[in-house]
């Protein structure tokens, strides 16, 4: 039922903005995803798929399933040839609690898909400040920092006051009551008293990674202006 | 125009719940406040007035104005005889930033009105964590802690993870954008990852002080059960 | 798939703030909880688990299941050795209606886990004021009062006007229409006309109990300053 | 500049639904109100004006000003001949606090304009329950009860559990923080645990009175069906 | 597991406010409802049960199931002896669309449970005004009118401008997008341009019926003051 | 259980406003829909059914099922004789992404049901502006443009700045976090910087098509005034 | 201080989309507006200015003031040569109440600025349905209908059920309590039960007129396809 | 009245995170600001002041006023010695409309205060796409892009699809109705369909500039790892 006129892939995106198009699967049927992967396969294109849960993977055609490297925790999959990951981690992905790990892993996987190294630093929420303190030098050693936090999302403010690197906060939907859905975490990081923190949508680990990729790309461009 | 049937003072409140009635002035005309103070003076009663700005003080009758000890920063006033303040401070009133000081002072003045000692510890927001670290022993020395914070209100979570005392958070309306009106600060402290923090309404320094007074009263009752 | 770097238990919390770390299970997989309990068992640590429903208990490893004392109504479990509960109840846990009992029981179980005595007083909502009136002396006999109420949450205001003890209100998500999710109950208790009521997040019986524990601890410290 | 085609008075309303049209002045210029009163005067019609503050009264034409009976507290005015008020009060208008009196007076004045007797019972908020208890028999003696309350608006729930009469709640915008604007009071009365309470818009004393008038009219119709 | 201390029935409610207590089943387990019905049966008491869906009925004890008169559309049940219904309908229950019928039926059943006659007038939404026009005389013949409407809830405003009877609006959760959950319908009726309309919570057919019952009771009391 | 007094079909609607009544199925049981189709069949009437998912189709009576032309993607069905569709497409239905196609198809099917030609132009979101640029002449060739877009809904603003035709925006509920439910898309199109864009409810492809039908009808009327 | 690089006028807009650029003055200083008018005068361009209040007009340079045709009610001004207005009114601009007239006049003036005829039909709110009924034929005679309504905004639904023309609803910010700011009116028209109503932003009379202009333009284009 | 214990300057911030502390003046009295500047002057420290309007500047002590370089449009001031600005602009500050210029200038001034070059590119909103198209190469030439936009904030999405640089979006409070306060603009950029856009609080030009400064600093660090 999915006809060719229902999608139009943006194969030029990587050249234009340095980021390949990814397939956001939450709003799409298995049939639509199969059709998109057919088109990708035809061109020999790779793809990152996000918000792809295990049930939907199982509904895909067997041929496509075989070519997917799927991670159920982060609900991401790589279609096509993986790229080697840099040895040195340029990005620290910090998760406030264990429940924030799936969002943090979405960021990590997106970075790996693009060949960037990244380090996960988990369960360093501010209710036990010593856990952050003993990891702060490790965090500082990365030029870019992503912080995933739900509930009151106090962690990005504290990190932002301790490290000089760009801090990209990803509010998560972890929590209940006033925290339900992640809006409190979102507003908290937007209102942060630590200067220069930037924010992406709730649970958007993919977007945080893309922002980090833009930034690493810009840094390289600053260093090598002649190559532009 | 304000007739006697428009108010009915609760002179038995102190005996019933250990807290004297206070006059919330924001929604009342100078004429209404004058009528209430007349009734108080008639009975020889003392009163705490809150949300009383300088313009409204100047609209009160001269006789009442003379008997008021008014603080324009906290917009509080004492009517009638002050009570001596305990030497030892039982309550630490912590303000995240300079802009949170008016709310913190409302709490301090309410405690002083009831004769309780309290210490102001200001400008210890988490964006510069060393400011909190160097004051944390001082805070810990108080059996009750009130924390006033606006914007992302990350401070109560951090304090709650460092001290064992009861922590009463007062979100303040300091901030703009998503922080406007204090709702982000409120939700942030309600969703705190530090266990056992309690919360009062936005900018309610008076309520936080009343909660501290209930608590000190309960502690004394626990110690001296025979005297109940 | 859950690796050791995804969690970092805060075993020093009890010493630091008088409250042991508890495991909030709502956002965690059975696999993650098993890994945490393994780490706890290794150190001989006890744990309180909250928001743990029966389905998730059944997905845990048999060894852990056997060591759990699980209460399906409050969705709490004790892992490890129970502590004897004080004979005298220091905390009254008041529930406005029968539907608020699960939240009230979460508070009761948290207090029991820490060895504190507590009394449940249920179905005393203000629509039939006599039910409250006949229990008010009983409530007053407790130094600390927790009130769980949903819908319009008028009960904490009425209780706060009748008793001198600290009143910790827990708004519940009981209700429909404007009451759905508990936000009306929450705002109602924050805006209470009774002075000195404090509030925790919606359905957060655990947090209310922790606040009561901080308070009882502070009271004891006030009595025995030399023992600090 | 106000031309005749900008308004069209509904002179048949009293006959149709038993309530004369009233002029809501908040959104209208003095010039528009003057034009409407000219049209009314031409037909010899009476009018109730609501939300008419003193500044706007002073901007009206002198001829109209002279014919107005204006009450600055309730911001209501009668234009034209008053109607005698029944000796017996059919409606109790209860105000939780002194700050709720302006809204209560808007209801009282609307009832008086239509010739109905009504009693003001003020400052009986639930924080001091004895104030309500000593007035409850007086309230019960009225066949219809209007309750104006802001902040947490716990009063209508308590009254609704004590009296059999229809209870019309008017939430008021009295309060700050979460209570600002009256939305908490509104939601609280909509979610009331006391059955059969009805509600009107925030600060809508006029609407509550109109509801009472519909009700008194219906009662009379039930008694005298032959006279219909 | 449900112990006797978890509920306390208000058997005196009918005498106090003219309305028997009803059991709101949405937040209760079958086990809790069984325990309540046991207590009712012991006293020979009747009960109205609301928000009771078919699945929960089937989980009740067989003995109780046999004594229930259950209506799956309105999710109401009568427990115990029915009361004869008055021949003459005092209340018109108007439903804007077919989807509003379940809420309208909840009101009808509550009225019938108390022995009051009521007429259902359905599918008269304003998008086809002729449907209302041809029923308006029928509606007018009832001393009390309940109007259930979702989406934009324009119907209560139009009815309120056409009939003199008290109009109790019940916003329903029918709709999607901005109408989802019934908040638009609720706000629309609260902001109605027709004077004297009162409102109850979203989907609260039971509450609207209780308000009508209070009103009919008050009317009878006005007629027969000597009998009080 | 569905009785005839629960619905009242508006068969005169087409004559009155040029649009036949459609059956919104989301809030209705299969039993109610069967009863409505019985009434339609009796009169030989056609019907468009919206929000009718496959599960509900299967619960309808076999006789009705056979007469339905059901599209599961758009959840629409035609009951009765189809009408021939005009050869020339008067309406361009533009979908920002693949996930917006179901809403776009609801609009397309509604137009086809009324015999109007329409063209689907999908996956032209602004993140890859070239996709829109290469289709803009095609869009411009249609006198009316419908644009379905979720998430940030930037597409209608860009289209509105490029084409002179009326642009009817349908915000969709596609997205997560702040985009969840479609409210961000809705507000974005209402606040559009491109002048003269109009908006319908979230996911309301049916409503957008009806607006287009009114417009085409008005255009024809402008051309042939004598025929009115 | 306003430099030339702060604005860039879109002189090609009329050619591109049939609507000239207008200057939204609410967010601009008199100095900025003067600079824009200088640039316009230089090119001999005309301009429509919206949200321009009298105080700001008086702060403009005298030369510009002289060339403005300013209407204080609608806060619009014409700069430059007026265009003759068509004799026949193509658009009916309907205002629910007198307070909605300023928004209705903004729409009227925008239409006049572009040379289109339009008729104001005011004070036909549904609380007195006869006022609408006696004007409905007049409304029907216009191919396009704009309806401005605040509070519950029931009028557009009723009009939409009575006329076949395209109906563009403009919710207004008239009202208080839940109606404050116009959000209830907005949601009400978006959720309208009458099919095919479209909506613009709150108080956006200008936008409604632009939508009408697009529509009239499209109609003309449909009639004269050869001239495209 | 402002005592030394009300503020505690964070002079080590620049060393710690590469950003000097700035004084947010909106919530502070002139007296408080004077006290802070005294402390700064004592140490010979420079300061950036934000949200400082002309009225408050005039209330400062004459000595401080003389040392301020104040810009009324952006409400920023430099206290102390300016730093030379780099010749080459590393940051493009793009403003969607003329009304967004004050926020854009706050970002520009913050960058200049720290010695960074930046280019203002204004009035390139998407309603006239050619304005953006003709500037896009200029924007692309900057390694970092800040985009300030209000209303529907469609511009950052379009820019993010066209340039590879990091894009920091600043939603502004420009607009009315649903756009009032900037929340629609904020949500729109958070939900952007263009990948890797990051966001700061509404009107937070200062924060966007700080994020850009962190980023430029990180880029330099990537280039010169040995110098760390």
Q: What is the mean pLDDT of chain D?
A: 92
Please name the residue that has the structure tokens 């951090």: B158
Contacts of B97 (CB under 8 A, 6+ apart): A193, B122, B123, B125, B149, B150, B151, B174, H27
At residue C57, the pLDDT reads: 97
Highest mean pLDDT among B16-20, D142-146, H21-25: D142-146
Please tell me if residue F119 touches chain G, with a CB cutoff of 8 Å.
Answer: no
Residues of B in contact with D128 (CB under 8 A): 10, 12-13, 16, 21
The band of E64, judged by pLDDT with boundaries at 50, 70 and 90, is: very high
pTM greater than 0.90: yes
User: How many E×F Cβ pairs under 8 Å?
Assistant: 57
User: Which 8-state DSSP code applies to residue F28?
Assistant: S
Beta strands across the sheet bearing A47-50: A22-24, A47-50, A76-79, A68-71
Distance from CA of F47 to the nearest CA of G (A): 15
* Interchain pair A5, F99: CB under 8 A: no
Q: Which of B212-226, C51-65, C87-101, F62-76 has the lowest mean pLDDT?
A: B212-226
Give the position of tokens 């402290």.
B189
CB of F152 closer than 8 Å to CB of H161: no
Q: Strand pairing of F76-79 and F47-50?
A: antiparallel
Give the CA-trace dihedral at F156, F161, F165, F170, to 10 degrees: 10
Helix (H, G, I), strand (E, B) or coil at B118: strand
Residues 6+ apart with CB under 8 A from B6: B32, B35, D95, D98, D101, D120, D122, D123
Question: What was the pLDDT predicted at D180?
Answer: 92
Q: Given this model, what pLDDT does residue D226 score? A: 44
**pLDDT exceeds cutoff 60 at D50:** yes
Contact A130 C12 (CB under 8 A): yes
Instruction: Collect all residues of chain D within an 8 Å Cβ-Cβ radius of residue G72.
Output: 1
- Per-residue confidence (pLDDT) for residue F3, from 0 to 100: 67
Which DSSP helix (H) or strand (E) runs through F146?
strand F144-149
Q: Sheet harboring C89-95: ordered strands across?
A: B117-122, B89-95, B144-149, B167-171, B197-199, C197-199, C167-171, C144-149, C89-95, C117-122
d(CA F197, CA F185): 14
C89-218, CATH topology level: Rossmann fold (3.40.50)
Residue with the two structure tokens 């909880």: C33
Judge: C223–B219 Cβ closer than 8 Å, yes or no: yes
Q: Is D26 on the interface with E (CB under 8 A)?
A: no
Domain extent listing, chain A: 4-79, 89-219
Say which DSSP state H147 is in: E
Average pLDDT over residues D117-129: 93
Residue C31, token pair as written in the block: 């696999």
Q: Rounded to whole angstroms, how far apart are CA atoms C218 and D5?
A: 72
Taking an 8 Å cut-off on Cβ atoms, the answer to whether F176 and A13 are in contact is no
C59 touching chain D per CB within 8 A: no
Backbone φ and ψ for B47, nearest 5 degrees, come out as: -150, 145
- Residue numbers in D near B27 (CB within 8 A): 97-99, 150, 174-175
Which secondary structure element, helix H or strand E, spans residue H49, and what is its range?
A: strand H47-50
pLDDT digits (tens, 9 = 90+) for A165-179: 999 999 999 999 999
Write the CB contacts of G223 (distance below 8 Å, at least 6 apart in sequence): F219, F222, F223
How much is the pLDDT for A14?
87
Cβ pairs bridging A and H (under 8 Å): 128
Helix axes G183-190, E183-190, angle to 10 degrees: 120
| Residues A193 and B154: beta-carbon distance below 8 Å | yes
E220 interfaces chain F, CB cutoff of 8 Å: no
Judged by CB atoms closer than 8 Å, whether chains meet at H190 and A186 is answered as yes
Lowest mean pLDDT among C65-69, E91-95, E102-106, G79-83: G79-83
Please state the rounded mean pLDDT for residues E74-96: 93
Question: Residue G144 forms beta bridges with which residues?
Answer: G91
CA atoms within 13 A on the CB side of D195: 28
Q: Sheet containing H22-24: which strands, arranged edge to edge?
A: H22-24, H47-50, H76-79, H68-71
- Predicted pLDDT at B7: 82
Neighbours of H120 (CB within 10 A): 18
C129 close to E (CB below 8 A)? no
In which band, very low, low, confident or very high, does the pLDDT at D20 lie, cut at 50, 70 and 90? confident
G82 against E47, higher pLDDT = E47
Interface test with A, best of C27, C38, C189 (most A CBs within 10 A): C27
What torsion do the CA atoms of F98, F102, F107, F109 make, to the nearest 10 degrees?
120
Which residues in chain H are closer than 8 Å to B130, comparing Cβ atoms? 12
Quick: pLDDT tens for C69-110: 999 999 999 998 878 999 899 999 999 999 999 999 999 999
pLDDT at residue F171 above 50? yes
Q: Residue range E119-127: average pLDDT? A: 93
Range B161-173 average pLDDT = 97
Q: What is the mean pLDDT of residues F37-50?
A: 92
Whether G176 and D13 lie within 8 Å, measured CB to CB: no
Mean pLDDT of chain C: 92
Q: Which residue of G has its CA nearest to E133?
A: G129
Contacts of F196 in chain G (CB under 8 A): 17, 19, 207, 209-211, 213-214
Residue B82 has a pLDDT of 78
- Write out pLDDT tens, residues F5-16: 788 888 888 888
Instruction: Pick H15 or C187 by higher pLDDT.
Output: C187
Residue F228 confidence (pLDDT) = 38
Chain centroid to Cα E120, Å, comes to: 12
Q: Find out whether H166 and A214 touch, Cβ atoms under 8 Å.
A: yes
The partner residues of A199 in beta bridges, in order of sequence, read A169, H199
Residue E188 sits at the chain G interface (C-beta within 8 Å): yes
Binary contact (E154, G190; C-beta < 8 A): no
* Cβ-proximal residues to C144 (8 Å cutoff; 6+ apart), any chain: B218, C90, C91, C92, C165, C166, C168, C212, C215, C216
The whole-number pLDDT of residue B224 equals 62
Residues 6+ away with beta carbon under 8 Å from G181: G173, G202, H180
Please give the radius of gyration of chain E, using alpha carbons only, rounded to the nearest integer. Answer: 18
* pLDDT at position G97: 92
Q: Which pLDDT value is given to residue C227?
A: 42
Neighbours of A55 (CB within 10 A): 8
Among candidates A165, A194, A214 on the partner chain, residue whose Cβ is nearest the Cβ of H218: A165
Residues of H with Cβ-Cβ distance to A186 under 8 angstroms:
190
For an interface test with C, give the residue of B88, B164, B204 to mutate (most C CBs within 10 A): B164
Helix or strand or coil: residue B138? helix
Which residues of chain C does A177 touch, with a Cβ-Cβ cutoff of 8 Å?
171, 173, 182, 186, 201-204
**D195-219 burial: b if 16+ Cβ within 10 Å, else e:** bbbbbbbbbbbbbbbbbbbbbbbbb
H-only helix segments in B71-228: 101-113, 129-133, 136-140, 155-162, 183-190, 205-223
Using the Cβ of D73 and the Cβ atoms of chain B, whether some distance falls under 8 Å is answered with: yes
Q: What was the pLDDT predicted at F11? A: 83
In this complex, do E199 and D211 lie within 8 Å of one another by their Cβ atoms?
A: no
Distance of residue C136 Cα from the nearest chain D Cα, in angstroms: 13
Contact between C167 and B214 using a beta-carbon 8 Å cutoff:
yes
pLDDT at position D228 is 38
Decide if B128 touches H, using CB distance below 8 A: yes
Residues in chain E within 8 Å Cβ distance of D90: 222
Answer yes or no: do B99 and H36 touch at CB < 8 A: no
Note whether A40 and A14 are within 8 A (CB): no
Q: What are C11's two structure tokens? A: 């075993």
In the predicted model, what is the mean pLDDT of residues C163-170? 97
Q: What is the pLDDT of residues A46-103, one digit of tens each?
A: 999 999 999 999 999 999 999 999 999 999 999 988 789 998 999 999 999 999 999 9
Predicted local distance difference test score (pLDDT) of residue G11: 83
H39 touches B: beta carbon within 8 Å: no
Looking at domain H89-219, which of 2.40.40.20, 3.40.50.2300, 3.40.50.1970, 2.130.10.10 is its CATH number? 3.40.50.1970
Which strand (E) or helix (H) includes residue H171?
strand H167-171
pLDDT above 70: residue E53: yes
Average pLDDT over residues G223-227: 54
For residues B190 and B200, give the distance between their C-alpha atoms in angstroms, rounded to a whole number.
10
- The pLDDT confidence band at residue B219, using thresholds 50, 70 and 90, is confident
- What are G195's strand-pairing partners? none
Per-residue confidence (pLDDT) for residue F160, from 0 to 100: 96
Tell me what pLDDT residue F68 has.
Answer: 95
* pLDDT tens-place string over residues E136-165: 999 999 999 999 999 999 999 999 999 999
Q: Compare C119 and C127 and report the one with higher pLDDT.
A: C119
Inspect the interface and report whether the beta carbons of C16 and B161 lie closer than 8 Å.
Answer: yes
More confident residue, F27 or B148: B148
Question: A107-122 pLDDT, tens per residue?
Answer: 999 999 999 999 999 9
Question: Coil, strand, or helix at residue H132?
Answer: helix
Interface of G with E in 148-177 (CB under 8 A): 151-154, 157-158, 160-162, 175, 177
Rounded Cα distance, H190 and F183, in Å? 13
pLDDT for A195 beyond 80 = yes
Q: Contact at 8 Å (CB) between F127 and F99?
A: no
Q: How confident is the model at residue C8 (pLDDT cuts 50, 70, 90)?
A: confident
Lowest mean pLDDT across A49-53, A161-165, B94-98, H4-8: H4-8
SS3 F155: helix
In this complex, do C96 and D175 lie within 8 Å of one another by their Cβ atoms? no
Please name which of G102, G91, G96, G174 lies closest in space to residue G139, comparing C-alpha atoms.
G91
What pLDDT shows up at residue E12? 86
**Contact of chains G and B by CB distance (3 or more pairs under 8 angstroms):** no
Cβ neighbours of C162 (radius 10 Å): 22
Cβ-proximal residues to C166 (8 Å cutoff; 6+ apart), any chain:
B211, B214, B215, B218, C143, C144, C145, C196, C198, C215
Inspect the interface and report whether the beta carbons of C127 and D193 lie closer than 8 Å. yes
C122, C98 Cβ separation under 8 angstroms: yes
Q: What is the C-alpha to C-alpha distance for residues B223 and B225, in angstroms, rounded to an integer? A: 6
How far is Cα F166 from Cα F162, in angstroms, rounded to an integer? Answer: 11
Which backbone phi and psi does D57 adopt, to 5 degrees?
-55, -45
Please list every residue in chain B whose beta carbon sits closer than 8 Å to the beta carbon of residue C90: 222
């Amino acid at each position: 039922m999915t006809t060719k006129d229902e999608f139009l892939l943006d194969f030029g995106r990587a050249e234009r903005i340095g980021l390949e198009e990814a397939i956001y699967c939450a709003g799409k049927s298995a049939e639509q995803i199969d059709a998109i992967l057919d088109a990708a396969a035809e061109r020999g294109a790779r793809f990152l798929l996000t918000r792809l849960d295990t049930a939907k993977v199982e509904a895909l055609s067997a041929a496509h399933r075989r070519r997917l490297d799927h991670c159920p925790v982060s609900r991401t999959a790589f279609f096509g040839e993986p790229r080697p990951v840099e040895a040195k981690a340029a990005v620290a992905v910090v998760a406030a609690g264990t429940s924030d790990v799936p969002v943090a892993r979405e960021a990590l996987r997106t970075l790996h898909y693009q060949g960037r190294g990244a380090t996960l630093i988990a369960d360093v929420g501010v209710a036990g400040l010593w856990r952050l303190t003993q990891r702060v030098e490790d965090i500082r050693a990365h030029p870019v920092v992503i912080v995933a936090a739900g509930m009151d999302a106090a962690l990005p403010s504290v990190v932002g006051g301790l490290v000089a690197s760009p801090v990209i906060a990803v509010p998560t939907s972890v929590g209940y009551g006033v925290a339900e859905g992640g809006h409190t975490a979102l507003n908290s990081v937007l209102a942060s008293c630590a200067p220069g923190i930037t924010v992406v949508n709730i649970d958007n680990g993919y977007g945080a990674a893309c922002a980090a990729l833009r930034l690493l790309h810009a840094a390289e461009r600053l260093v090598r202006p002649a190559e532009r």
